[in-house]
Structure 1
Amino acid sequence: MRQERRPESTEPAATRRERLRSERAERRAPRTRLEQPRVPGRIRLPRWDADTFGRFAEAAARFMGTAQFIVVMTVIVVVWVAINLIGLWGLRWDPYPFILLNLFFSTQASYAAPLILLAQNRQADRDRLTMDEDRRRAAAQKADTDYLAREIAALRIALGEVATRDFVRSELSRLIEEMDRRDGHHPVRASEPATGRTADPR
């Protein structure tokens, strides 16, 4: 029997080797198992400037802690309740028991609490930095004080070894008395001027 020859491929040898290599790699690659959960892809979340948002939170918390905020909220509540009770100009979008107003206050409280907490956290961070700086300055000041105390103590010790005027005067008086005693003269006090006369020895 004659063996039929397969038609030779017209693609280059390098391309055929690359195709065979890719097919082998696909056969060797592990298949995804259905009993294992699929790993979710990385979702890019929107980014925002934390410092800018923190400044906004501090401004909002600072405004909510002022009398102006209380006055504005009181005026809004009074006008809201008055319009919905009396029905001015035929407007009554939130009748008693004012469910929409309660929803508004609940939403405001749910946003106000995190803003206040964020502002408090930023203030706590600033206080911590201030305390660290104060602690560093206190340590440096204590080191300077200890250094000055050691220097003052060293100066006192050095000054204690220096001869004072009274000490020199007493030593001179003692030496003069000893010299007069050896020569047989009367002792002359250091405070009295010497007359040049000598006493007769007896």
Structure 2
Amino acid sequence: MARVDVEDRRFDTPKGIRRAPSFRGSGDKDRFGRFTEWVARAMGTPGFLLGLSVFAIGWMLWNTFAPEHYRFDSVAIGFTALTLVLSLQASYAAPLILLAQNRQDDRDRVQIEQDRQRAERNLADTEYLAREVVALRLAVKELASKDFIRGELRTMIEELDRRDDEETEHAVS
């Protein structure tokens, strides 16, 4: 009989939705993506470039002018350790910047799709309103205007007056 630990039972989610525990207990799957964007933003600043330049110049000055037993990179072999450190930094920087760029491209793609859907809805709403305006114009043309009704009433009154006059003439004759 298999033993199930109480920790393995999750009663707060339905059975089909349970997820496997995430890496290092982090529930945030987007943390690395945000980290790559932070690195890309930081590497694109003048402060980073200035700091990297100060670091490289400091490294070279230390390994050139410091006492011999404190130096850790040789001037004679062209600062090999500095070259390796800068190559390592660049080898990690490029993929992180590409990951951040891919995330931005994905966000842009989603935004473009949302804009397209919004434009389609606006076009459909505009076409609907245009049809409604045309229908109202047609309905208004079919309605009798105030002047038309007055004219019809005057014509009917004149006709009734003429009938009354004819009846009084026939009655007198």
TM-score by length of 2: 0.68
Aligned residues: 139
Q: How does 1:25-174 map to 2 (within 5 A)?
A: 48=23, 51-88=30-67, 90-96=69-75, 97-174=78-155
Aligned alpha-carbon RMSD (Å): 2.6
Q: Please, which runs of 5 or more residues in structure 2 have no aligned partner?
A: 1-21, 167-173
- What amino acid does structure 2 have at the position aligned with 1:136? Q
DSSP-derived class of the 2:94 partner: helix
Task: Supply the distance in 2 between the matched residues of 1:174 and 1:119 (Cα, whole angstroms).
Answer: 82
Could you report, residue by residue, the CA deviation over 1:84-136 in whole angstroms, capped at 9, with x for unpaired residues? 12125742221222111111111111111110010111111111111112222
Largest Rg, 1 or 2: 1
Seq. identity, %:
52
Which structure shows the higher helix fraction? 2
Structure 1 residue 79 displacement after superposition: 0.8
Q: Which residue of 2 aligns with 1:193?
A: none
- Using structure 1 for the length normalisation, give the TM-score: 0.59
Q: Unaligned stretches of 5+ in structure 1?
A: 1-46, 186-202
| 2-structure distance, mates of 1:80, 1:53 | 31
Q: What amino acid does structure 2 have at the position aligned with 1:150?
A: R
Q: Bigger relative contact order, structure 1 or 2, given CA contacts below 8 A and separation 6+?
A: 2
